[in-house]
Amino acid sequence: MFRISKKDNIDLDSFRTQFWLEEKKWFVTFDQWIDTSVSFLYTNPCCTEYRYPLTFMKKALVTESTGLVPMIFPHTQYLIFDWNLPMQKEHLCRFTHIYTLLMEDNLDLSFKFINSCIDLSRITSFVQGRSEKEQSGNEFVHILHILPHLRSLCLNISTLVLLFDRHWPQIIDLNMKINTFDSSSKYLSSAEIDAFWHSFTHLKQFTFHRQSIRDLSRLFNKMTMTLSNIWIRHLGILYDYNSQLTTRQWLEQNTILTDFEYFCDNWWSVHLWL
């Protein structure tokens, strides 16, 4: 894939010869993004793993190709979608083999739109981008729940609690995020900790921010026995939020943990291997 500036004059006729179309069977596509400074020239189907299009390239698209219409991106496995800068449906349909989906906001509307364009059944990992204090609805939860190959979630804590009324045995990797620059960010209550472990019974890896859990002892004492890796972030220490480091001694004295490996890195993140 080649990034082309507007000043470059691209003529695809040189790729329409017998050598390219019949002997090599090599087709080329030129995507021109209107009102942007660059465009892209690539083989069709696109044979590279690439985060395409870039998030700022959501303007009108003019496409010219030497063959193989419609164009597809079978090797692009990572898709970023922003409801405030939506893609055209005809372009979104090119993503036929997406495994990781990142949505910036408005999950209900974003899922409804994407689901009408591409097959989501291949999705193995879902990532929520920007933090929202409250979701406009929870229809997206149903779509997430029926994805057959979904195994990994990265969600803001205010969104995660909307999943607690369902069982998620297929999820083995969970990253629970908070807005570290917002002192009023939500944290899990004791009742929500119980609901969390009731919903996610087969986790193997769990990442969370220390300031999102008030009753850390309860979190560990109620945890599922399938857990093998835990990552506790302490960004509050870096930004002087009076956050205390979770030490090995504290874990041994206040939780049921006995046989585990402990490591604290230079960024005050605690890694546990159970």
Fold of 79-273: 3.80.10
| Maximum distance among all Cα pairs of the chain, rounded to whole angstroms | 76
CA distances from 62 to 2, 120, 157, 206, 239 (A): 16, 26, 40, 43, 46
Q: How far is CA 132 from the centre of its chain?
A: 15
Concatenating the DSSP letter of every residue in 214-252 gives S-HHHHHHT--TT--EEEEE-HHHHTTS-PPP--HHHHH
Q: What is the pLDDT along the chain (274 residues), one digit of tens a residue?
A: 777 776 677 888 888 888 888 888 888 888 877 777 777 787 777 665 555 555 555 566 777 788 766 677 777 888 888 777 667 777 788 888 899 999 887 898 889 889 988 899 999 999 998 765 555 578 899 999 999 999 999 999 989 999 999 999 999 999 999 876 555 667 899 999 999 999 999 999 999 999 899 999 999 999 999 999 999 998 755 555 545 789 999 999 999 999 999 999 988 899 999 9
For the chain, the domains span 1-76, 79-273
Residues 6 or more apart from 220 whose CB is under 8 A from it? 251, 255, 256, 257
